[in-house]
Structure 1
């Protein structure tokens, strides 16, 4: 019996423990870090792929924290890394019914604000992300011939201007790390039902959590994100600061991927090497409102 069949057999055995017959077990296509299986109508199993075991262990620590803050994410029913039933760590989770949204789901801004208000505590496997030198990325691309000298100078100047628009040393917040359509579940009316897959969670600058949404989506939810802090009578960040930080990461990560090899067949919009940079061009060509119009 092959490894794939052994995993399916193990998941089927897990299903029996929860009263789900074999015909109620079905694998869901996709998933880079995990294989996913539905267990009837109420449960879902995620099995770590080789090399991603630590991500699933991190998720088991972060999800209870996120739920305690009121973040809509499926509850973890069981986490097991004993490898008795399956030769890989797995989690049994609440199954949340929803679809991948085509736009920005209603409620996402409020959910991110809840998450970013988390008190700093030790969470197993959750790192601090301090990536913060885009000027080196620009210099490297110029040296390798991906950028001409004048463009490299202009981009370095853009990063310098953005660096003056937000506090790069503000206290780190808990971020999801992969806020993208494939990790969001929405109902038929477009309301967010669940934020899933916490394998990239980290303590990082809040702007990083807006880096995997298209910039027009970021611009649409940012005012509500800011108002959520104000409605809770908390001193939150200013909209222009978060916009500058989000743009910083979009530009940095977009440049960092210019020299990558194509990755065809992927559904997330950031997969093609040029998508982020062209997304920036598209966003600013559409004449965005303030504060975005002041950030170039």
Structure 2
């Protein structure tokens, strides 16, 4: 374990009031950002998630992003039927551990990636219905990453928010050495030349932004039992969520049947979708370089970005 058993037991004891001898912990191997454990505390089934150290390499919106999860879970539990876990403790005091951590109830089921024989169409229809509920939650006149981690100033319009998000992400990639000044300027200019496509009235919808098979929990009867990992959530145009769903293989016909609305497939929407896809892919340059120590993979993502950029410039 990256942390000693005694340290982890102390964290659980602080909030659950049980003896250390009544606590067992099992590492969750699938976590890609946080360090996570299944916890059994005197019969209660919990999940503990521990944030990365503060000196890790982050995409701009990742730093302290766990801070927004308690509020989001509470909102979803109050306003939707989306299966999310009650969070029973969140600690950013760094008195017990030099990282943020949280404890939440363990949801039943297993990741869709580990359930090859379920009825995928049934699951995706339910995921679609859930995201329709989520997208119906809207902030009033504020766009962007609005959570307690505050990675950006809230913006009055989506076009302003996305332009700021794009600039910050390009700067992050440049900061780890994968864009030079010419490339950064070109990517910023590319959005500027198409910015009118984003200047349109859209709701500031709550967006999950990380729905893929690993974050979808199901039972053996193909029921959706959990939609997890809300720490990347933002508020804005649902089209950017659709691009992530495309990338992650979720936006299949069954999903759209559950979602209940047809997406815009106009030429303008398709160009926006390319930018939203680029926003999704560029983060992996930073992640592969800074957290996975895999510069070859980071370069591969950069090549993918540049190929898409070249195709977009040819089209427009």
TM-score over 0.5 for the alignment? yes
Partner of 1:195: 227
CA distance in 2, matches of 1:253, 1:53: 17
Aligned partner of 2:83 in structure 1 is 72
1:18–1:176 Cα change, 3 Å? farther
The residue aligned with 2:257 is 224
Deviation sequence 1:165-213 (CA, Å, 0-9, x none): x765523211112222222212223332111122211112212223333
Other-structure match for 1:290 = none
Residue equivalent to 1:125: 149
Partner of 1:250: 277
CA distance in 1, matches of 2:303, 2:109: 31
Distance in 2 (CA, whole Å) between partners of 1:47 and 1:143 is: 36
Match of 1:45 among 30, 45, 48: 48
Aligned counterparts of 1:219 and 1:142: Cα–Cα separation in 2:
37
The DSSP-based 3-state class of the residue aligned with 1:33 is coil
Instruction: Measure, in 2, the Cα distance between the counterparts of 1:66 and 1:209.
Output: 17
Instruction: Say which SS state the counterpart of residue 50 (structure 2) adopts.
Output: strand
SS at the partner of 1:210?
Answer: helix
Q: What is the correspondence of 1:113-262 to structure 2 with a 5 Å cutoff?
A: 113-120=132-139, 123-125=147-149, 128=154, 130-132=161-163, 168-215=200-247, 216-221=249-254, 223-224=256-257, 226-227=259-260, 238-240=263-265, 245-251=272-278, 253-254=280-281, 256=282
CA distance in 2, matches of 1:206, 1:77: 30
Mapped to 1, the partners of 2:79 and 2:302 lie a distance apart of 31
- Once residues 144 and 68 of structure 1 are traced to their aligned partners in structure 2, the CA distance between those partners, rounded to angstroms, is 48
Asked if 1:97 is matched to 2:128, the reply is no
Which protein has the bigger helix share?
Answer: 2
Alignment counterpart, residue 81 of structure 1, candidates 89, 92, 95? 92
Partner of 2:67: 57
Evaluate the alpha carbon distance shift between residue 119 and residue 31 of structure 1 in structure 2; reply closer, same or farther with a 3 A threshold. Answer: same
Q: 1:253 to 1:178 in 2, by over 3 A?
A: closer
Contact 1:179 1:213 (C-alpha < 8 Å) held by counterparts: yes
**Structure 2 length normalisation: TM-score?**
0.61
Q: What secondary structure does 2:8 align onto?
A: helix
1:222–1:239 Cα contact (<8 Å) kept: no
Cα distance change on mapping 1:75 and 1:243 into 2, 3 Å: farther
1:100 Cα deviation after fit: 1.7
> Could you tell me how far apart the structure 1 residues matched to 2:100 and 2:196 are?
41
Residue 118 of structure 1 deviates from its aligned partner by: 0.8
The Cα of 1:96 is off from its aligned counterpart by: 0.6
Structure 1 residue 108 corresponds to structure 2 residue 132: no
More divergent stretch after superposition (47-56 vs 197-206): 47-56
Q: Which runs of 5+ in 2 are unaligned?
A: 55-61, 114-119, 141-145, 156-160, 308-314
Secondary structure at the counterpart of residue 77 of structure 2: helix
Q: Is the 8 A contact 1:179 1:210 kept in 2?
A: no
> Alignment RMSD, CA only?
4.6
What CA distance in whole angstroms lies between the structure 1 residues aligned with 2:136 and 2:130?
10
